[in-house]
Structure 1
Amino acid sequence: LLDGPYDEQTDLLADSLRVQGVLPVIEPNTAAGFTHVGPGAGETLDPALLSVAGPDAVVDWVFLELRDAASGTQVQATANGLVQRDGDVVSPQGGPVVFEADAGNYRLVARHRNHLGVMTDAAFTLSRDPIPVDLSDPALATFGTDARRLRDGKALLWAGNAVFDNELRYTGAANDRDAMLQRIGGVVPTATIGGYWVEDVTLDGLVRYTGAGNDRDRLLMGIGGAVPTAVRVEQLP
């Protein structure tokens, strides 16, 4: 689950990008800066998925990695995925996500263009038979410390990574707040801009610096909500 579009009242993610027609048909992970191991670059989704509403509606693209079981530092295979409103991740064709990798033991990493990634602390035995891995379950151990945000009994990827690095910063060099302000023009804080932007960390199709549902507040919550100089670092080796 992604913290940005998560609604505690429904336990679902908002699918505003799909509803507004700005969710890209071609995977955005390559352009965002993720590196594919194996196929996946330029992959397109089945357009029929954009017509699905309800809990199985697609929210956004995600990037998945299989890493070595021992240290989790070596990426063995990658795959594009689509996260649905209920948190399920499916392939761009709507089925289970498939990696081009040999059967064996791997750690799973889930990443997103403006959320901090997360990796399982233990390895899973993968084969041709699909298995569920529920990263939204707080009981599932993940690598590092406070790798996910806990909200209403769910574990979520931290939102706010508007400059696509490995940390959330509200102030200082290369901070995410300035990126949001620059996206709306850099001068008028009440301005907004619509579309599919990395600075839109709430995934509502609009970059907002102030007002209800703004992206800056979600970033501030990501670093703790009180100390603007705090930094949250992505928990990946």
Structure 2
Amino acid sequence: MTTILNTNNLIPLNSEDAYDTTAYGYTAIAVAGIPNSDIVDWVLVELRTGTASNTKAAERAAFLKSDGTIVDTDGTSPVTFSGLSVGNYYVVVRHRNHLAIMTATTIPLSSSSSLYNFTTAQSQAYGTDAMKVLSGGTYGMNTGDGNQDGFVTSTDFNVFNPKFTSAASGYEYPDWNLDGFVTSTDFNFFNPNFTTAKQTFVP
């Protein structure tokens, strides 16, 4: 994954600039600086005791690295949740312009938990075809959700088009290839998911 936003100092230092705290119900995290050069962007990590949205036990912001791993705000440590009981949880991952994904089953979480790898198979994510096949046969999140409603629709195009016609640049929601510019390349990322009506399978 690209680190262009990081290289160009476009990643905000406060997670609230990526994910509104009221909409997502989490506590914003601010950092003094982006911790290292392989950070791609902010993500949200949510833990649930069940599949339904009202079973959320915790949610927090973290960083996505270029190799696909998610780390704490120091840029290297595993993501931790304070005040949470050891147990089995569904893990939801959200990105500001991609469709959210969730682990296919609950996974045991403790201070010694193994990493969960979404990239190895479509069956690693909850739902049917919840992820996209990437180069090399790995799996990742579908892009194109410019308004964060869980669907890739014409509404997302309406988010994209004014930014495209004004040649917007910076930290923009319809910058679907994360290069800091809203261009026809972003439309090319969006369009296949629009024509196939992609949506999240996270309830």
**What's the TM-score, normalizing by structure 1?**
0.77
Partner residue in 1 for 2:149:
165
* Contact 1:46 1:93 survives alignment (8 Å): no
* Contact 1:68 1:75 survives alignment (8 Å): yes
Hey, what's the Cα distance between the residues in 1 that align with 2:97 and 2:44?
A: 11
Hey, what's the Cα distance between the residues in 2 that align with 1:217 and 1:84?
A: 23
* Contact 1:58 1:84 survives alignment (8 Å): yes
Q: Radius of gyration: which is bigger?
A: 1
How has the CA–CA distance of structure 1 residues 198 and 134 changed in structure 2, closer, same or farther, with 3 Å as cutoff? same
1:59 to 30, 36, 40: 40
Hey, what's the Cα distance between the residues in 2 that align with 1:106 and 1:194?
A: 38
**What's the TM-score, normalizing by structure 2?**
0.89
Partner residue in 2 for 1:107:
90
- How is 1:51-200 mapped onto 2 (pairs within 5 angstroms)? 52-53=36-37, 57-69=38-50, 71-73=51-53, 74-94=55-75, 95-100=77-82, 101-138=84-121, 140-152=123-135, 153-169=137-153, 171=154, 175-184=155-164, 189=165, 191-200=166-175
Partner residue in 1 for 2:190:
219
Q: Which structure 2 segments of 5+ residues have no match?
A: none
Letter in 2 for 1:89: I
Q: Which structure 1 segments of 5+ residues have no match?
A: 1-12
Letter in 1 for 2:171: Y
Letter in 2 for 1:121: A
Hey, what's the Cα distance between the residues in 2 that align with 1:234 and 1:206?
A: 25
Provide the aligned length of Structure 1 versus Structure 2.
197
* Contact 1:134 1:140 survives alignment (8 Å): no
Larger proportion of helix: 2
Hey, what's the Cα distance between the residues in 1 that align with 2:68 and 2:156?
A: 25
* Contact 2:47 2:59 survives alignment (8 Å): yes
Hey, what's the Cα distance between the residues in 2 that align with 1:168 and 1:139?
A: 19
Hey, what's the Cα distance between the residues in 2 that align with 1:182 and 1:145?
A: 32
Give SS of 1:128's match. Answer: coil
Partner residue in 2 for 1:10:
none
Identity of aligned residues (%): 25
Partner residue in 1 for 2:4:
16
Give SS of 1:178's match. Answer: helix
When the two chains are superposed, the root-mean-square deviation of aligned CA atoms in Å is 1.8
Larger proportion of strand: 1
Residue 233 in structure 1 maps to residue 173 in structure 2? no
Hey, what's the Cα distance between the residues in 2 that align with 1:30 and 1:155?
A: 27
